[in-house]
Chains A and B, each alone.
Chain A
């Protein structure tokens, strides 16, 4: 294959996509098993799982858009919107169960006042827990995380598709690069995070650096393998 200026642009696009995924995962409010028992704030599943679920739904939307147009903007926007719909529907229905089945008001134990609504949090945190449910700040943060994840996934898929014009090959490579970045970010988060107001969020620069190195290598491999066939 020719290693021309366009290829370098494609590699850069993949790197930016990977970084968006890596940083976006930090926005997703994830509480793991404790959240599933209303023992911690956030969505009751693992970081990678939720990020992958939403980002890959976005990839489906981006793939469909790319089959009808070559214009990058609708493809990226479609991917971002698809991921946001997935994560929002999940958080919304999960919130119904917290609110109406478990019967717990939403509260975060990491801040005294919700940065968006200004609601006080500690009086609503059940004794012996670190909060429960998905308060507004976590919900908005999750939406931003979905946006970045979907955008990142689409931004990885687009250049691969431009190189090889093979949707299945590009999709599988995009899923692989996506998961590597999501897992790296999850190591950084170590289990649970509530969103951008969580003190753990400040660690995102570490994930940024690791994702940069990992995606650089992956981008070179992906572009060479998928383009050389």
Chain B
């Protein structure tokens, strides 16, 4: 362990936190999150809306595509054209954002056009001012993940043996999986359905009954981003940051050549700690909130 390596691991954790946050907000603005089925369903049950709808693939493969595109472009510029790394990564992220723009607009037009029979309109103003926001968030995600891949393969000791684009692809899949698992609960459970009783999940009866009115006027996807940036995005960033930081920290503090046992043991310690912590959260929440008032079964709480 040396000071530079620890600084690099800290930087990777910070970059991952930003990448996770921007990934979740990107998917919330574009409604590529899990509750997208409700956005699609809403028009069919009689609620046409102004929410962006671009879920034509899951978040993990989509983010893997953007991160890998950025990494491939950056890697080419660095190795073949001797461009400075930071500049090359920025160019790579810009190319990835362009890919994202094509993906977003074609998905929006395709999905909403297919719902014409349910009176769902295509809103050109939504495309015009929401798409740049989606692209900007994708740029941040691609930039941060490519930076992490660059640090892991070029600077951090020992260098990671995988090439930069493969690492970017793996982290892209991971950030998508985390954004989909963590951030979507805040978007779906908190933002799309707000008239359910606090403490309840979404009743099946409410499927498709998404909230369509915003604080001022009709709800659109920018309102979703405004809300999700407060908790869902940062928590996603926290989860991805924890993954990148804890996983790199244990092999940086303990030399993998001579202290591999300690590095693995430290990882196991983190895992046991998180299991115990989840048990604590479950117990404390059960104690604080209690059983549902309307419960009629014969099993005691």
Please report A residues at the B interface, Cβ cutoff 8 Å: 32-40, 43-46, 49-50, 52-54, 56-57, 59-61, 63-69, 74, 77-78, 81-82, 84-86, 88-99, 101-106, 112-113, 117, 119-129, 131-136, 139-140, 143, 167-168, 171-172, 175
Q: Given contacts A33-B36, A81-B268, A102-B185, list 7 more A-B pairs with CB under 8 A.
A: A36-B187, A38-B200, A44-B180, A45-B34, A69-B257, A74-B256, A85-B270
Of B96-104, B107-115, B125-133, B239-247, the stretch lying at the interface with chain A is B239-247
Out of B159, B160, B185, which one reaches A98, CB within 8 Å?
B185
Q: Are B231 and A97 in contact (CB under 8 A)?
A: yes
CB neighbours of B239 from chain A (8 A): 89-90, 92-94
CB neighbours of A97 from chain B (8 A): 182, 185-186, 189, 231-232, 235
Out of B170, B199, B299, which one reaches A126, CB within 8 Å?
B199
Q: Are A106 and B201 in contact (CB under 8 A)?
A: no
Distance between Cα atoms of A129 and B236 in the complex (Å): 25
Q: Are A37 and B189 in contact (CB under 8 A)?
A: yes
A105 CB → nearest B CB, Å: 5
Distance between Cα atoms of A99 and B198 in the complex (Å): 11
Of B116-124, B136-144, B290-298, the stretch lying at the interface with chain A is B290-298
Chain B: CB-nearest residue to A60: B170
Chain B: CB-nearest residue to A76: B264
What are 29 A-B contacts defined by CB distance under 8 Å? A33-B34, A37-B189, A37-B193, A38-B200, A45-B60, A46-B180, A49-B59, A49-B173, A52-B60, A53-B60, A60-B160, A60-B247, A68-B260, A74-B260, A81-B271, A85-B242, A88-B274, A90-B182, A95-B278, A97-B232, A98-B189, A102-B185, A106-B282, A126-B292, A128-B203, A136-B275, A139-B275, A168-B162, A168-B166
B217 within 8 A of partner (CB): no
Contact with A along B232-271 (1 / 0, CB 8 A): 1001101100110011001100001100110110011011
Distance between Cα atoms of A187 and B40 in the complex (Å): 23
B47 within 8 A of partner (CB): no
B188 within 8 A of partner (CB): yes
Q: Are B256 and A64 in contact (CB under 8 A)?
A: yes
Distance between Cα atoms of A175 and B172 in the complex (Å): 13
Q: Are B201 and A93 in contact (CB under 8 A)?
A: no
Chain A: CB-nearest residue to B291: A123
Distance between Cα atoms of A82 and B250 in the complex (Å): 10
CB neighbours of B33 from chain A (8 A): 36
Q: Are A105 and B285 in contact (CB under 8 A)?
A: yes
A203 CB → nearest B CB, Å: 23
Known: A33-B37, A44-B181, A123-B297. A81 touches B264 (CB 8 A): yes
CB neighbours of A50 from chain B (8 A): 177, 181
B173 CB → nearest A CB, Å: 5
Out of B182, B279, B299, which one reaches A93, CB within 8 Å?
B182
Q: Are A45 and B184 in contact (CB under 8 A)?
A: yes
Please report B residues at the A interface, Cβ cutoff 8 Å: 33-38, 58-60, 158-163, 166-167, 169-170, 173-174, 176-178, 180-182, 184-190, 192-193, 198-206, 231-232, 235-236, 238-239, 242-243, 246-247, 250-251, 256-257, 260-261, 263-264, 267-268, 270-271, 274-275, 277-279, 281-282, 285-286, 289-292, 294-295, 297, 299-301
Q: Are A39 and B204 in contact (CB under 8 A)?
A: yes
CB neighbours of B243 from chain A (8 A): 57, 85-86, 89-90
CB neighbours of A53 from chain B (8 A): 60, 173-174, 176-178
| A69, A112, A168, A172, most chain B CB atoms within 10 A | A168
Q: Are A93 and B257 in contact (CB under 8 A)?
A: no
Q: Are B292 and A103 in contact (CB under 8 A)?
A: no
B147 CB → nearest A CB, Å: 16
A138 CB → nearest B CB, Å: 9
CB neighbours of A143 from chain B (8 A): 271, 275
Distance between Cα atoms of A81 and B161 in the complex (Å): 19
CB neighbours of A43 from chain B (8 A): 181
Q: Are A74 and B264 in contact (CB under 8 A)?
A: yes
Known: A37-B193, A103-B289. A69 touches B282 (CB 8 A): no
Q: Are A46 and B58 in contact (CB under 8 A)?
A: yes
Out of A60, A65, A69, which one reaches B167, CB within 8 Å?
A60
Q: Are A92 and B204 in contact (CB under 8 A)?
A: no
Distance between Cα atoms of A140 and B272 in the complex (Å): 10
Distance between Cα atoms of A205 and B263 in the complex (Å): 35
Chain B: CB-nearest residue to A161: B161
Q: Which 9 pairs across A and B sit closest by C-beta, in order of nearness? A: A53-B177, A128-B203, A38-B201, A81-B267, A123-B291, A36-B34, A167-B161, A36-B184, A45-B180
CB neighbours of A119 from chain B (8 A): 282, 286
| A49, A69, A77, most chain B CB atoms within 10 A | A49
A142 CB → nearest B CB, Å: 10
Q: Are A44 and B184 in contact (CB under 8 A)?
A: yes
